Amino acid sequence: MAEVQLRSVYKSFGDKEVIHGVDLDVADHEFMVFVGPSGCGKSTLLRLIAGLEEVSGGEISIGGERVDELPPAKRGCAMVFQSYALYPNMTVYQNMGFSLRLARANKEFIRARVHEAAETLQITELLDRKPKQLSGGQRQRVAIGRAIVREPRVFLFDEPLSNLDAKLRVQMRIELAKLHRKLAATMIYVTHDQVEAMTMADKIIVLRDGYVEQVGRPLELYHTPANLFVAGFIGSPAMNFMSGRILDCSDNAVSVVLDGGLGMSVPCRPKNGATQGAPIQLGVRPEHLNIDGHGDLQIPGKVFAAERLGGETYVYVITKEGKEITVHAPGDKVVSEGDEIVVGVSAESAHLFEQHGNAFERLAA
């Protein structure tokens, strides 16, 4: 079993605290993805788990065993970095077998492990090459192979695909998902890529400035973000936000009036302190808006840009109040810069956030 647990983990560099008491449970065999803005502590958390950094406080355990006092080699983790850092003078075979050689494993054992990993990653025919004779994707596979041969309990990936071109990234993403199923190992994966996070993760953890904002299944985060930050971070292009005030609350709906005077009733459970006149943010994803004016709220505006991608179009609209809204429209919609249109919002697709940014519980998901 290789579940990973963090209990109240703190990390400071000098007198600067960058991880502020993180609790986290990664289940055995789970694929956990860390996302969050640059500098929020994703790599630091991975390095703490791997033992490449020491915790300043709290506990880390793997498979029920406390590991935060153990050296990296005793933790059963293998880490794959963004820069794959292969040894240039060694062949692929030697690179992949290096950690086992260091651990004084015998030759036959190393040979068997390296060949098995190479087969899994379909790089057997590359074993005699040097890294400089490989493409970026092949090098990345060797870096992953180097991790696999150690048969770690936990794989830690720090943006492993970000150096690859878009097509190769898609290919490797699918291969990594297959690998996860095949090895049935616990994996923790850091990425900036929304699609990677949404498609690969069993669970996503959203970090911000060294705090956990929310943990959940990808679609939970998409449909029921806990707060404004998660709502704005998960989903691409990002959710649109419009400010307004509460007009009226009942047990299962909040009526709001937006700046500019338009009003709508949103099916949700208001939190304590939701009172008439309190400021709110209304959030709606681009894919839940339309440019035909259908729905419970009609927002007039002018198109200031339209990006036609073929199958879909992103329409950028500016409202009378000067607010910019992104709308996702079908690719065959004819719309041009300068067009006056009406953006339609259905109450069911709307998210509502109170003044501190916490979401009201949605009643229609």
Ligand X SMILES: Nc1ncnc2c1ncn2[C@@H]1O[C@H](COP(=O)(O)OP(=O)(O)OP(=O)(O)O)[C@@H](O)[C@H]1O
Residue numbers of the site for ligand X (CB under 6 A)? 13, 18, 36, 38-44
Rg of the Cα atoms in the chain: 24
CB 256 within 8 A of CB 280: yes
Smallest gap from Cβ 38 to Mg ion, in A, equals 7
Residue 97 sits at φ, ψ, to 5 deg, of -90, -5
Stretch that binds Mg ion, among 43-51, 126-134, 239-247, 300-308 (CB under 5 A): 43-51
Pick from ligand X, Mg ion, none: which does 295 bind, CB < 5 to 8 A by kind?
Answer: none
Smallest gap from Cβ 226 to ligand X, in A, equals 20
Stretch that binds Mg ion, among 39-47, 88-96, 143-151, 342-350 (CB under 5 A): 39-47
Closest CB to ligand X among residues 205, 291: 205
User: Which among 165, 129, 125, 123 has a CA at the least distance from the CA of 145?
Assistant: 123
Indicate the residue whose CB is closest to Mg ion: 43
Whole-number Å distance between alpha carbons of 297 and 264: 6
Residue 87 sits at φ, ψ, to 5 deg, of -75, 115
Closest CB to ligand X among residues 13, 87: 13
**Please, which of residues 150-169 interact with Mg ion by CB under 5 A?**
none
Closest CB to Mg ion among residues 82, 346: 82
Closest CB to Mg ion among residues 43, 91: 43
Structure tokens at 157: 């990936």
Smallest gap from Cβ 43 to Mg ion, in A, equals 3
User: Should residue 43 be labelled a site residue for Mg ion when binding is judged by CB under 5 A?
Assistant: yes
Residue 192 sits at φ, ψ, to 5 deg, of -100, -5
Pick from Mg ion, ligand X, none: which does 152 bind, CB < 5 to 8 A by kind?
Answer: none
Pairing label, strands 203-208, 186-190:
unpaired
Smallest gap from Cβ 283 to ligand X, in A, equals 24
Residues composing the chain: 365
DSSP codes joined into one string, 114-149:
HHHHHHHTT-GGGTTS-GGGS-HHHHHHHHHHHHHT
Smallest gap from Cβ 170 to ligand X, in A, equals 21
Pick from Mg ion, ligand X, none: which does 331 bind, CB < 5 to 8 A by kind?
Answer: none
Pick from ligand X, Mg ion, none: which does 18 bind, CB < 5 to 8 A by kind?
Answer: ligand X
DSSP codes joined into one string, 145-201:
HHHHTT--SEEEEESTTTTS-HHHHHHHHHHHHHHHHHHT-EEEEE-S-HHHHHHH-
Smallest gap from Cβ 35 to ligand X, in A, equals 9
Contact footprint for Mg ion (CB under 5 A) = 43
